Amino acid sequence: MALLDRAIVRVLPAVPRGLVRRLSARYIAGPTLDDAARVVRQLNAQGKLATIDVLGEEIHDAAAAGDIALAYHGVFARIDDDRLDANVSIKLTALGLQLDERLCRMHVEGLVRDARERGNFVRIDMEDSSTTDATLRLYHELRTAGHDNVGVVLQARLRRTLADATGLRNVRLCKGIYLEPSTIAYQDAGEIRASFRETLTMLLDQGSYVGVATHDEALIQDALRQVRERGLTANRYEFQMLLGVRPERADELVGAGQRVRIYVPFGTHWYEYSLRRLQENPAIAGYVAADTVRRVRRR
């Protein structure tokens, strides 16, 4: 990450919440399930699939984890009622991972069963490195128990990722948003890209279904080359992008016959997700500076 970017990441928490909310509106469907359903309907009409995320992470009590699980069951029901083409993405910390791993597992298994009965699918997002072992453990336990409608996420940033990829059947591959120390994670953009490419090769070679989750044109081109060279069709991979990021590129991919899924977050706990998206927006330094100047002038 460039020096300027690092500085922006450091000051982001000091940026007023109102400004964070305004700048990040494009990344979030809205506060309610109705908002998510509306956005997914629009995406489906454009030929894109969706994965719905109920915002909320690092909850502090079991009741809150139960609420998030309930909200996801509501999402599955809504997907069916509205005939939406969407699955869900969950965060284990939102389902109680840091309170009680068994409680978390119970919620996830409940969601995977609900999804199975509806012919749907659960993707387990990957959070910071303190959760990697538990997340992969839960994924493996569920697959071993016969649940084949669950997938996980790998982060190319982590040095361990290539080793972790072995044997995974359904993977979303991304760079990884959480900043991790150099002892466990690549820091250089070129190294992260190389790790992404190498892990993608390994996943495709071992027959995994892969969600290629990136907006990085070099990696999109590499993925297109790799699937073309192997003669793979859309039942083996899909592209994935975040709501509000490079939508015109997603349209081009759909136009070229590619399967594209958009990550659609909704809910009232928008702050942490918004900060992560802003830290990756190349234009953010300009927005924040312009707003600060405006506010100083108003005083």
Residues at the site binding ligand FDA, with contacts judged by CB under 6 A: 125-126, 153, 155, 172, 174-178, 213-216, 240-242, 245-246, 263, 277, 280-282
Question: Least distance to ligand FDA from the beta carbon of 296, Å?
Answer: 25
Q: Is residue 197 among the annotated active site residues?
A: no
d(CA 263, CA 242): 5
- State which residue, 62 or 159, has the beta carbon closest to ligand FDA: 159
d(CA 44, CA 73): 21
Question: Least distance to ligand FDA from the beta carbon of 9, Å?
Answer: 12
User: Which two tokens mark 255?
Assistant: 């136009």
Q: Is residue 294 among the annotated active site residues?
A: no
Rg (CA), the chain: 19
* 130 DSSP 8-state letter: G
Question: Least distance to ligand FDA from the beta carbon of 181, Å?
Answer: 15
**Largest separation between any pair of C-alpha atoms in the chain:** 62
CA dist 147 to 50, 119, 125, Å? 21, 12, 17
- State which residue, 120 or 132, has the beta carbon closest to ligand FDA: 132
- State which residue, 77 or 194, has the beta carbon closest to ligand FDA: 194
- State which residue, 61 or 217, has the beta carbon closest to ligand FDA: 217
Alpha carbon 104 to its chain's center: 19
- State which residue, 96 or 265, has the beta carbon closest to ligand FDA: 265
d(CA 66, CA 287): 38
Question: Least distance to ligand FDA from the beta carbon of 272, Å?
Answer: 12
Neighbouring C-alpha atoms within 13 Å toward the C-beta of 148: 4
Question: Least distance to ligand FDA from the beta carbon of 24, Å?
Answer: 9
Say how many C-beta atoms besides its own lie within 10 A of residue 232's C-beta.
13
d(CA 122, CA 115): 7
d(CA 86, CA 47): 12
Question: Least distance to ligand FDA from the beta carbon of 190, Å?
Answer: 11
- State which residue, 107 or 123, has the beta carbon closest to ligand FDA: 123
Q: Which of 53, 125, 164, 222 is catalytic?
A: 125
d(CA 26, CA 62): 31
Q: Which of 123, 143, 157, 172 is catalytic?
A: 172
CB 106 within 8 A of CB 112: no
Catalytic residue set: 125, 172
